[in-house]
Amino acid sequence: MDTSITLTVDGRRHDVVVDTRTTLLDALRERLAVTSAKKGCDHGQCGSCTVLLEGRRHLTCLTLAVAHDGDEIVTAAGVSALEGGAGDDAPTSLHPLQEAFLAHDGLQCGYCTPGQVCSAIGMLDEAKQGHPSHVTDDLEESVDPADLDDDEVRERMSGNLCRCGAYGGIVDAIREVAGGAPREGQPDRPAQPEREAAR
């Protein structure tokens, strides 16, 4: 059955007719040519299709496009326009988190990166709202993004896989933007030479 829906993607409004069975991911990629959301597994297991949906990180492969009529979506191609980003009028510039991914080598092939970036922005927002995680010791203690250590970042980002194994750089990039980036030699993260040697 065909249904007409409206999606706002990276600030642009689209009216599009989709078959009811179309996932949001396929609607973005195949109907709207928004290819920054990537299809990895198509079964909720890799996180590469993550976008910010109504402000929260969300998979697009396990949801139907018709269920999102009227919703606002921001993909990695649109995050620079978000608060904390470079702003609307600088469409070619990057969000600080994207800059940090570059600075810390948080990617290799780049396929998982758009999902990682959206997930990280959503994750930091959750932390700002005080959400605990599986590795948070005291559930009643307040949570602050700057206090997230490597274990916290890894746990909160566990829904995003990276086949290239760029995890070390991804964690560093996120911690830098969170405001609690580890300094070299800090105990919870081996210093660079040690990491090199471990490869």
Partner 1 sequence: MKELTYVRPTDARDAVARVSDDPHARFLGGGTNLVDHLKLGLLTPDVLVDVSRLPLDEVTRLDDGTLRIGTNVRNSDLAAHPVVRSSYPAVTRALLAGASGQIRNQATTGGNLLQRTRCVYFQDVTTPCNKREPGSGCSAIGGYGRYDAVLGASEACVATHPSDLAVALAALDAVVVVLGRDGERRVPMSDFHRLPGHHPETDTTLAHGELVTSVELPPESALTRASDYRKVRDRASYAFALVSVAAALELDGDVVRDVRIAWGGVAHRPWRAAAAEEALRGETYSEEAVRAAAELELAAAVTGPDNAYKIPMVRNATAYALRGLADRSSERTGATR
Ligand X SMILES: Cc1cc2nc3c(=O)[nH]c(=O)nc-3n(C[C@H](O)[C@H](O)[C@H](O)COP(=O)(O)OP(=O)(O)OC[C@H]3O[C@@H](n4cnc5c(N)ncnc54)[C@H](O)[C@@H]3O)c2cc1C
Task: Give the binding site for ligand FES (CB under 6 A).
Answer: 39-42, 44-49, 59, 61, 107-113, 162-164, 166
Strand 72-74 relative to strand 12-19, pairing: unpaired
Of 7, 112, 108, 124, the C-alpha closest to 50 is: 112
- How far apart are CB 62 and ligand FES at their closest, in Å? 7
For position 130 contacting partner 1 by CB under 8 A, the verdict is yes
86 or 123: CB nearest partner 1: 123
35 or 45: CB nearest ligand X: 45
132 or 150: CB nearest ligand FES: 150
- How far apart are CB 99 and ligand FES at their closest, in Å? 16
143 or 177: CB nearest ligand FES: 177
- By CB under 8 A, what part of segment 71-110 binds partner 1? none
Concatenate the DSSP letters of all residues of 89-154 into one string: T-TTS--HHHHHHHHTT--SS-SSHHHHHHHHHHHHHHHHTT---TT-S-TTS---GGG--HHHHH
- Alpha-carbon distances of 63 from 10, 28, 53, 98, 150, rounded to whole Å: 19, 12, 11, 26, 31
For position 45 contacting ligand X by CB under 6 A, the verdict is yes
Number of other CB atoms surrounding residue 98 within 10 Å = 25
Name the token pair of 173.
Answer: 């990039």
46 or 123: CB nearest ligand FES: 46
81 or 174: CB nearest ligand FES: 174
- Alpha-carbon distances of 8 from 13, 16, 86, 121, 169, rounded to whole Å: 4, 11, 20, 19, 32
Residue pair 24/52 in contact (Cβ under 8 Å)? The answer is no
Letters for 10-49 (x = contact with partner 1 by CB under 8 A, - = none) are: ----------xx-x------------------xxx--x--
- How far apart are CB 103 and partner 1 at their closest, in Å? 24
The residue ranges that bind partner 1 (CB under 8 A) are 1, 3, 20-21, 23, 42-44, 47, 50, 56-59, 62-64, 66-67, 119, 122-123, 126, 129-134, 136, 139-140, 154-160
